Amino acid sequence: MDTRFNDTPPASIDGIMQRSWAAFQTFRKRPASDRAMLLREIATGIEALGDALISTAMRETNLPEARLRNERGRTIFQLTSYADACERGDWMDIRIDTAIPERNPPKPDVRKMMVPLGPVVVYGSSNFPFAYSTAGGDTACAFAAGCSVVVKAHPAHPETSTLVAEAIMAAALRCGLPEDVLIHVYGISHETGKALVTHPHTKAVGFTGSYTAGKTIFDWANGRPSPIPVFAEMGSVNPVFLLPEKLASDAVIIARDCASSITLGTGQFCTNPGLIIGVEGPHLDKFTEALGDFVGETSPSRMLHPGIASAFREKMGLALTQKGMRPVTTREASDDGMLGTPAIATVDGASFLRNPLLHQEVFGPFSIVVRCRDMEEMLQVATQMEGQLTGTVMGTLDDVRNHSEMISVIQGFCGRFILNTVPTGVEVCLSMHHGGPFPASTDSRFTSVGADGIKRFARPIAWQNWPNELLPDELKNDNPLGMMRTVNNEPSTDIIEG
C-alpha cells in the first residue's frame, strides 16, 4: 500500500504552521522583485518537470493530454504574468499625502501600501490539477503578496501535487528563500483541515471546490478567536438567459455553442452553464431540440475521480425525478461508472420556481432548459437566482434595451456578466473577475483569477510621519521602483520633492 500520501497528522500541524510563520518572517521583508523572481523560478521549475508531470496528472485525473498541456501553459502564464503585476504594483494601491506643516492643525505625511497578511492555507481543486492547485492562482497570488503558503494536496492527485510542491521548494532555494515558503501537507480528514484553518498563525485561506467544504472552512475561520478571511470559490450554475429576438434568429448557433460549453472537459468546470432559460414557444423548442442533438452526439468521457462521477449520477438522477422535469437526451448512462454521460433535461418555469433543488449545481455535463411562460416569469427566475460566478445574456442590442430590468437583475447576482458568448473559458487578465455573490464565493469583492487576486492576501498599512530613508522603497520620495502612485489625489509616477 502506498503510504506516501497518508494524512498529515493533525498533531503535526502546529509545528508546520510554526515553520510557515518563520519562513513568512523572512519572506515578508524581501522586496517585490524577489517575490516576482520566485514566481518565475517556479514557472521554470514546472516547465522542467516535462512529460513526467503530464503523464502523472493524466493517470491521476483522467484528463486528456492536450487539456493538461494547455492547463500547464496557463499555469505558467499565471505565474509569470502575476510576477509582472507584482512588480508593477497596481495591486498595492499606493497612496501618498504629503505633509502641510503650516496648516492648523499641521497635516501629517501619510503613505499607504499593501503588506502581506501572513501564512496562507491553500486547498487545491480536483478539476484543475495545475492552474487551481499546488502552484495555481491562490499560491501564486499569496507569494506575490509576500505570504508563505501551506498547500493541502488534493487527495485526487497527490502525486502530481507532490511533483509541483517539490519544484516550488527547489525554486525557493534557488532564490535564496527559505524552503518553507511552501509546505505541502496531505489530508482527507476534517481534523487536518480544521487544525490548519484554525491555527493562530494561519492568516487566510484559499479554496476551490464544493459548497459544503467551502462553507465548512468559512465557518471554521469565522469561529476562530481571531477570524480570518476565506476565499472559497464554490461553483455556480452559471445561468444563460435567452432573450427573444436573439433566440428567434440564432437558436441553433446558440445551441451549438452551449453544447460545447456544457460538455467541455466532461462538464467539470465551475463556469459550466447548468441552466438555460427562455420563453416557451417554437424558437425555444428548436433550441432545445438542437441542444439535445449536439449534446447527445458528444461521446461520454471519464470524470476526474469516482467521487465526482458518482455524485454526478446521483444529483442528475435526483434532478430528473423532480416534478415537471423531462429528459431531452435519451442516452442511457454507461456501465462504466467513471464515464460522465452528457445529458439535457427541460422543465417548465413554474415547476422550476417552486423547486430549490433544481437551482443547485450538478457538477458534470448536465444542463436544464427552463421554459418560462413569458418574460415576466423569466424575470422571476432571474430574481430568484442565488449568487453566481457568471450570468450570461444571449441577446440583440434591442433585446438588451427592451429588457433593462432583466439585465439589471442578472448583473445583480453575478461576478462576470457576459453577452453572446458562453461562460466557460476564464481569461487570465487583470480585468477578469472570477468570484461572485454568495454562495458562488465567500467574498464577492475578490477575484481568484487575474493579478487583482493578489489583493486577497494583503492588507493596507498607513505610515505616518516616517522620514524618507525609513520608508519602504514603494513609498520613498524618489519612487525608485517607478510605480504608479496616487500622490495628493493625483495618479503619478513622479518623484516627490523632499
Q: 339 forms bridges with which residues in the sheet? A: 302
Q: Choose which of 65, 219, 374, 494 interacts with a second copy (CB under 8 A).
A: 219
Q: Least distance (Å) from a second copy to the CB of residue 233?
A: 14
Q: Does 466 bind a second copy (CB under 8 A)?
A: yes
Q: Choose which of 421, 480, 482, 494 interacts with a second copy (CB under 8 A).
A: 421
Q: Does 459 bind a second copy (CB under 8 A)?
A: yes
Is-catalytic flag, 270? Answer: yes
Q: Does 439 bind a second copy (CB under 8 A)?
A: yes
Q: Which amino acid is at 477?
A: N
Q: Does 403 bind a second copy (CB under 8 A)?
A: no
Q: Does 425 bind a second copy (CB under 8 A)?
A: yes
Q: Choose which of 3, 212, 330, 465 interacts with a second copy (CB under 8 A).
A: 465
- Residue 305 or 455: which CB sits closer to a second copy? 455
Cell reading at 446: 475578490
Q: Least distance (Å) from a second copy to the CB of residue 225?
A: 9
Q: Which amino acid is at 416?
A: R
Q: Which stretch binds a second copy (CB under 8 A): 56-64, 172-180, 328-336, 425-433?
A: 425-433
Q: Choose which of 419, 473, 480, 495 interacts with a second copy (CB under 8 A).
A: 419
Q: Please, what is the end-to-end C-alpha distance for the chain in angstroms?
A: 67
Q: Least distance (Å) from a second copy to the CB of residue 462?
A: 4
- Residue 357 or 429: which CB sits closer to a second copy? 429
- Residue 193 or 229: which CB sits closer to a second copy? 229
Q: Is 61 left (phi over 0), alpha (psi -120 to 50) or beta?
A: alpha
Cell reading at 317: 438522477
Q: Does 110 bind a second copy (CB under 8 A)?
A: yes
Q: Does 462 bind a second copy (CB under 8 A)?
A: yes
Q: Does 105 bind a second copy (CB under 8 A)?
A: yes
Site for a second copy in 46-85 (CB under 8 A): 84-85
Q: Least distance (Å) from a second copy to the CB of residue 292?
A: 26
Residue 36 phi, psi dihedral angles, 5° rounding: -65, -40
Number of C-beta neighbours around residue 467 at 10 A: 8
Q: Least distance (Å) from a second copy to the CB of residue 269?
A: 14
Q: Does 212 bind a second copy (CB under 8 A)?
A: no
Q: Which amino acid is at 46?
A: I
Site for a second copy in 263-282 (CB under 8 A): none
Measured CA to CA, the distance from residue 219 to residue 216 in angstroms comes to 5
Q: Does 321 bind a second copy (CB under 8 A)?
A: no
Q: Residues 201, 118: contact at Cβ < 8 Å? A: yes
Q: Which stretch binds a second copy (CB under 8 A): 52-60, 123-131, 374-382, 430-438?
A: 430-438
Q: Does 486 bind a second copy (CB under 8 A)?
A: yes
Q: Does 418 bind a second copy (CB under 8 A)?
A: yes
Q: Does 398 bind a second copy (CB under 8 A)?
A: no
Q: Which stretch binds a second copy (CB under 8 A): 36-44, 57-65, 151-159, 436-444?
A: 436-444
Is-catalytic flag, 245? Answer: no
Q: 265 forms bridges with which residues in the sheet? A: none
How many residues make contact with a second copy (CB under 8 A)? 71
Q: Does 41 bind a second copy (CB under 8 A)?
A: no
Q: Which of 261, 318, 313, 275 is nearest to 410 (CA)?
A: 275
- Residue 1 or 470: which CB sits closer to a second copy? 470
Q: Does 154 bind a second copy (CB under 8 A)?
A: no
Q: Choose which of 69, 88, 286, 315 interacts with a second copy (CB under 8 A).
A: 88
Q: Least distance (Å) from a second copy to the CB of residue 93?
A: 7
* Catalytically active residues, by annotation: 233, 270
